[in-house]
Amino acid sequence: KDIMQGDNTQDIFNFIKSIKSNYPEDVKYDSVVNPFNYDKGLKDIDIKNINKKGSYVNIEYSKLQYQNIIKFSVDDVIVNLIIYTKDYLATNELKLIINRIYCMIKTFKSNITTNTINIYLYLYNCPRVITETYINSPDDFQGINDNDLFNCTNGYYRDSDNKILVTRLNTYKGLLTHELCHLCKLDFGGYSLFEMWDKDKVKYGEFKFSKFSEGINNAISSLIHSVFVSIEMDEDFDKIYYCEYKYSKDMVGNLLHYFKCDKINRLKECGYNQDGMVFEYVILRYVYLEFIDKLFHFRFEKEGKEKEYYLLFIKCLDQIADKEFKFNDKMIIKDTNTDINLVRMEYYLF
């Protein structure tokens, strides 16, 4: 998908250019590696079911063995980075993590209001999956959340103590970039912007947006993640971005397929209930990337045209609501224990 055409072409080009120009060659850092005490570490991580013995996430979390304590600075901002791993963390992998954090803070420093940032990465292997379709009823989707398979808490940015927490090894750099976008206020106003309006207006059909900005943030982090991946893999940006865009479209198709549905405007009648921001994370992210030439949002935010932007977003959503989305069967993962088809639903492709 060629994003370099349309209303915001120059804005997007300048945005990408600014990120690339601040990507560092070498960042000086201090690092110490300690053994990780699983039982003592439980109090440091507030993720649902992480303390529940035998749960999907707890089984893998308990396998972490090393605590990597890293400290570096970006101008006058101090970054305390703590990474928990099952195996020794390769130096090259650590540098890629540091480079992303450094670049985001350097590029968007004017949006950051603290001099100390604390980042925790718990890199245990827990793929995000759903069953190909619901088995008993659409309400099965709640069980997918409750069992930490998908649509469950994987990380957050908390501005009260300037803390970022990211869990799961799977596509973790994308999720880290997502949380850094919150830190850098790239999410079109954070959590509170749309509370100034009548809540009934912040919805689409029967679906209310609990956090409209999460869809914005998931999309802009996909763009930035694509920039980073293109640098890290020494690949053409357009190629990487197209793959992430296509993946976001496949996620919509896979989500609809789960509910035995093929159109967004049929989700409600197919039994989908909006809960936990799936509509924002999956569908709104795709809408943004599909219409990025119109929805690249920073100009609207700068000019104070939040309501105008929201109405434009809904207009774009209307254009694809009756469109048929296909299920991507290449994302099927066979569960050899139950012979049930599972479907890959990681937040990002790379």
Under a CB-based contact definition with an 8 Å cutoff, are residues 140 and 183 in contact?
no
Query: pLDDT value at position 200?
Result: 54
User: What distance lies between CA 16 and its chain's CA centroid?
Assistant: 18
Output phi, psi for 144, to 5 deg.
-65, -40
Query: pLDDT value at position 199?
Result: 55
Helix (H) / strand (E) containing 69: strand 66-74
Residue pLDDT tens, the chain, 350 long = 666 666 678 899 999 999 999 999 999 999 999 999 877 666 667 788 888 889 999 999 999 999 999 999 999 999 999 999 999 999 999 999 999 999 999 999 999 999 999 999 999 999 999 999 999 999 999 999 999 999 888 999 998 899 999 999 999 999 999 999 999 999 887 545 555 555 555 677 777 777 788 899 999 999 999 999 999 999 999 999 999 999 999 999 999 999 999 999 999 899 998 766 888 899 999 999 999 999 999 988 888 888 888 889 999 999 999 999 999 999 998 776 777 899 999 999 99
Query: pLDDT value at position 204?
Result: 77
Output phi, psi for 67, to 5 deg.
-115, 115
Under a CB-based contact definition with an 8 Å cutoff, are residues 117 and 78 in contact?
yes
Give the closest residue to 288 by CA, choosing from 340, 253, 249.
249
Give the closest residue to 44 by CA, choosing from 83, 101, 17, 102.
83
Query: pLDDT value at position 201?
Result: 58
- How does DSSP assign 114-150, residue by residue? -SEEEEEEE------EEESS-SS-TTHHHHHHHTTSS
The DSSP letter of residue 330 is: G
Sign of CA dihedral 22, 71, 36, 51: negative
* Distance between CA atoms of residues 299 and 293, nearest Å: 12
**β-bridge partners, 155:** 166
**β-bridge partners, 229:** none
Query: pLDDT value at position 76?
Result: 96
32, burial (CB in 10 Å: exposed 0-12, middle 13-18, buried 19+): exposed
Query: pLDDT value at position 37?
Result: 80
* Distance between CA atoms of residues 231 and 251, nearest Å: 25
User: What distance lies between CA 107 and its chain's CA centroid?
Assistant: 19
* Distance between CA atoms of residues 186 and 136, nearest Å: 40
Query: pLDDT value at position 131?
Result: 94
Q: Residues near 320 by Cβ (< 8 Å), separated by ≥ 6?
A: 264, 287, 290
